[in-house]
Amino acid sequence: MVSLNLPCDNFVFPSALKACAGLSVLQVGRQIHGLVSVSGFGSDPFVQSSLAHMYVRCGEMVKARKVFDRMDQRNVVGWSAMVAGYAREGYITEAMELFRMMRDSGVEPNLVSWNGLIAGFSHSGNSVKGVATLKEMYSQGFRPDGTTISSVLPSVGDLSSLVTGLQIHGCVVKNGFAADACVVSALVDMYGKCGSTENMLQVFDEMVEMDVASCNALVAGLSRNGLVEDALRVFMQFKRQHVELNVVSWTSVVACCAQNGKDIEALELFREMQSVGIKPNSVTVPCLLPACANIAALTYGKAMHCYSLRQGIFENVYVSSSLVDMYAKCGKIWGARVVFDMIPFKNVVSWNAIIGGYSMHGKAKEAICMFNLMLESGQKPDHISFTCVLSACSQSGLIKEGKEYFRSMSHEHGLTVRMEHYACMVNLLGRVGKLEDAYQMISQMPTKPDACVWGAMLSACRIHGNATLGEIAAEELFRLEPRNAGNYVLLSNIYASKRMWDRVNRVRGRMMYIGLKKNPGCSWIELKNKVHTLLAGDKSHPQMTQILERLNRLNVEMHKSGQFPDTQFVLQDVEEQEKEHILCGHSEKLAVGLGLLNTPPGYPLRVIKNLRICGDCHGTIKFIAKFEGRQIFVRDTNRFHHFQDGVCSCEDYW
DNA sequence: CTAGGGTTAG
């Protein structure tokens, strides 16, 4: 229309600006603003309100305010857009103040004004304000409608306040809002977030007309509450019933798998999603990438990188940040850095990804350097930034630096010290052998230490073979998480390393009594675009004979060179020779053996393990790396081990 | 002709 030189009037500007607002396209909005300025309609109240709204929706509150301040006759639409905008951006005081000023200037808020304010609070995650505003609206004689309900519900879910949720549900039933699809999906979501699956299912079952958003909320709700199998089952049902599943539906089910240890399933669902013609978007990618990272499926991860570049979604900060994380977890820390440097607008998530990456690789210097660069760039650190930098310090035994970061967290950055930060400090002190200091830190905590703190203590006791403090930590853990087999294994390993076999048997008896089995060790390796899973002692892999043959040959070579496996890591009290036999079956060694067989000489190997690497395997893999002239990366639950030339990047300190 | 709502994301 503009290129045809047709004149724009005060009727077409609002419509065009509304389109910009809906799509948050600031660039076009600015151009239209320019046209408005030269058109002579710059003082039309409709045009001005629309302009203010466009800037609000593009997150440009300063620009919006400028337009609003210049308005000659401020109408209810302009006021309401500004109020909602401030609430949405988290400027609560400004929103409330403007709301008051609107009334003082003689403009009465209507239902849409109230709803906008409530939606703004919900959007910015303000759980208390949303509900409070709903109550205030009631007290001033405004009846809520379906929009009010679906605006306020998201903040109720965040509150985890089931009572409030039930009250609102009651209001929905009484007023007949249950026919509104948005209300139903918001209710399903709210009950899911409050952990009430019975209510969630009831709302879903009573739904009048099938609605895809409610189906999606149900899948997410089941997944979030640990009912993974049910989530997958209902998804399959929806597919069979020909519910018109959209990109959100597929993304939800991919996320469900990726967040619950079903990494291979996540990759398969992603493929199926594409095969039925649903295009993954900038949310799908960060949902899927953790699955690639978990099993070090680098080829899939790279494919996602290419896809993101092709689709033009790489610039999305969540997409690029999850790519950084994926490369780091797949052993490519340099690749992670390259991607990080290409992120145009970094946020705290991006910085945390690269700091965490360096930390995981034991590169404390680099992690600290990136942390300082983040501060210099003006980015405020959050509690995760501190978890990353503190764990980097503990990987490398940097006591002084760690203590200083720990102190600055609350004193300089105004952040609350959480359990995981105490756990980092216990880890830091404990690993260098300052077990008494670590124990003292726990005793002086303002809140009761949780399992991650005691777990750090127990691990430190394992490294230094301290049975006395180990027993204290273990007893706390048995009370806090009686069904976590790892704790029993750690304590029993402490005893085994001190040859206290009667106590080893006592712990194992206790485990058996409550019906716990040692978590089987499991490793993954990607070879020729296929991810292979190996379980400790499992002989089912088709190449197992060759693997064991190769490993035995390497074992002989190792003995010849005068090195012997460290057998103190075996749990059972058995003859020395048999111990070595059991160690041979550890999954990380099997994965390395498989990698050696199926890759050309000199090719680097990347292995992922679900538990911490054992000392014997660590020693053996150091030997293999040297003997075979290979770089071998092993990622365990804690960090990366980069084996090369007979040494490991962790310097035997893990 | 201009203002308000639900589902996926470290």
Contact indicator for A466, A500 with CB cutoff of 8 Å: no
Amino acid symbol at A424 = C
Contacts of A633 (CB under 8 A, 6+ apart): A331, A604, A605, A606, A607, A640, A641, A642, A643
* pLDDT score recorded for residue A159: 62
Bridge partner residues of A530 (DSSP): A527
Neighbours of A233 (CB within 10 A): 13
**pLDDT level of residue A651 (50, 70, 90 thresholds):** confident
CA atom of A145 to C1′ atom of B1, Å: 25
The Cα–Cα gap between A250 and A303 comes to 18
- Return the closest-CA partner of residue A585 out of A531, A637, A541: A541
DSSP designation for A297:
-
CA atom of A246 to C1′ atom of B2, Å: 31
Bridge partner residues of A608 (DSSP): A524, A635
**pLDDT level of residue A257 (50, 70, 90 thresholds):** very high
pLDDT surpasses 60 at A616: yes
- Return the closest-CA partner of residue A315 out of A283, A337, A336, A345: A345
pLDDT tens sequence across A425-452: 999 999 899 999 999 999 999 999 999 9
* pLDDT score recorded for residue A615: 81
| Alpha helices for A276-398 (secondary structure H) | 284-294, 298-311, 317-329, 333-342, 348-360, 364-376, 383-395
DSSP designation for A568:
G
DSSP β-ladder status, A530-535 and A522-527:
antiparallel
Residue for token digits 């990136």? A370
* pLDDT score recorded for residue A296: 84
**pLDDT level of residue A325 (50, 70, 90 thresholds):** very high
**pLDDT level of residue A573 (50, 70, 90 thresholds):** very low
Task: Specify the nucleotide whose C1' lies closest to residue A316 (CA).
Answer: B9
pLDDT surpasses 60 at A569: no
Q: Identify which has the larger pLDDT, A470 or A649.
A: A470
Contact indicator for A587, A521 with CB cutoff of 8 Å: yes
Question: Which residue is closest, via its CA, to the C1' of B1?
Answer: A11
CA atom of A113 to C1′ atom of B3, Å: 7
**pLDDT level of residue A565 (50, 70, 90 thresholds):** low
DSSP designation for A613:
P
Give me Rg for the CA atoms of chain A.
Answer: 29
Question: Which residue is closest, via its CA, to the C1' of B7?
Answer: A213
Residue A114 tokens, joined: 């109230």
Mean pLDDT of A297-322: 93
pLDDT tens sequence across A117-141: 999 999 888 878 899 999 999 899 8
Bridge partner residues of A523 (DSSP): A534, A609
* pLDDT score recorded for residue A267: 93
* pLDDT score recorded for residue A158: 64
Cα–chain-centroid distance for residue A237? 28
* pLDDT score recorded for residue A575: 41
The Cα–Cα gap between A383 and A419 comes to 11
Triad A465, A466, A470: Cα angle to 5°: 115
**pLDDT level of residue A535 (50, 70, 90 thresholds):** confident
* pLDDT score recorded for residue A654: 67
Residue for token digits 């690269």? A354
Mean pLDDT of A143-169: 88
**pLDDT level of residue A217 (50, 70, 90 thresholds):** very high
CA atom of A350 to C1′ atom of B10, Å: 9
* pLDDT score recorded for residue A160: 64
Concatenate the DSSP letters of all residues of A376-422 into one string.
HTTPPP-HHHHHHHHHHHHHTT-HHHHHHHHHHHHHTT-PPP-HHHH
pLDDT surpasses 50 at A572: no
Q: Identify which has the larger pLDDT, A308 or A575.
A: A308
Triad A101, A103, A109: Cα angle to 5°: 120
pLDDT surpasses 50 at A576: no
List chain B nucleotides near protein: any atom < 7 Å from a Cβ.
1-10
* pLDDT score recorded for residue A297: 87
**pLDDT level of residue A272 (50, 70, 90 thresholds):** very high
Report helix, strand or coil for A430: helix
Contacts of A576 (CB under 8 A, 6+ apart): A567
Task: Specify the nucleotide whose C1' lies closest to residue A115 (CA).
Answer: B4
Report helix, strand or coil for A579: helix
pLDDT surpasses 60 at A581: no
pLDDT tens sequence across A361-381: 989 999 999 999 999 998 889
pLDDT tens sequence across A27-45: 888 999 999 999 999 999 9
Task: Specify the nucleotide whose C1' lies closest to residue A177 (CA).
Answer: B5
Question: Which residue is closest, via its CA, to the C1' of B5?
Answer: A147
Mean pLDDT of A526-536: 87
* pLDDT score recorded for residue A566: 60
Mean pLDDT of A534-549: 87
Task: Specify the nucleotide whose C1' lies closest to residue A384 (CA).
Answer: B10
Question: Which residue is closest, via its CA, to the C1' of B3?
Answer: A77
Question: Which residue is closest, via its CA, to the C1' of B4?
Answer: A116
* pLDDT score recorded for residue A3: 87
CA atom of A282 to C1′ atom of B9, Å: 8
Report helix, strand or coil for A253: helix
Q: Phi and psi at residue A178, in whole multiples of 5°?
A: -65, -10
Report helix, strand or coil for A561: coil
CA atom of A216 to C1′ atom of B7, Å: 5
Q: Identify which has the larger pLDDT, A425 or A614.
A: A425
Q: Phi and psi at residue A535, in whole multiples of 5°?
A: -105, 145
Contacts of A370 (CB under 8 A, 6+ apart): A351, A354, A355, A358
CA atom of A114 to C1′ atom of B4, Å: 8
Q: How far apart are the first and last CA of chain A?
A: 67
The Cα–Cα gap between A44 and A30 comes to 17
CA atom of A36 to C1′ atom of B1, Å: 15
**pLDDT level of residue A1 (50, 70, 90 thresholds):** confident
Task: Specify the nucleotide whose C1' lies closest to residue A212 (CA).
Answer: B7
CA atom of A346 to C1′ atom of B9, Å: 16
Report helix, strand or coil for A498: coil
pLDDT surpasses 90 at A652: no
Contact indicator for A352, A384 with CB cutoff of 8 Å: yes
Task: Specify the nucleotide whose C1' lies closest to residue A319 (CA).
Answer: B9
| The dihedral sign for the CA sequence A21, A26, A28, A30 | positive
Neighbours of A211 (CB within 10 A): 18
The Cα–Cα gap between A61 and A26 comes to 12
CA atom of A96 to C1′ atom of B1, Å: 29
Can you give the pTM of this predicted structure? 0.84
The Cα–Cα gap between A92 and A98 comes to 10
User: pLDDT > 90: what percent of chain A?
Assistant: 70
Task: Specify the nucleotide whose C1' lies closest to residue A146 (CA).
Answer: B5
* pLDDT score recorded for residue A577: 43
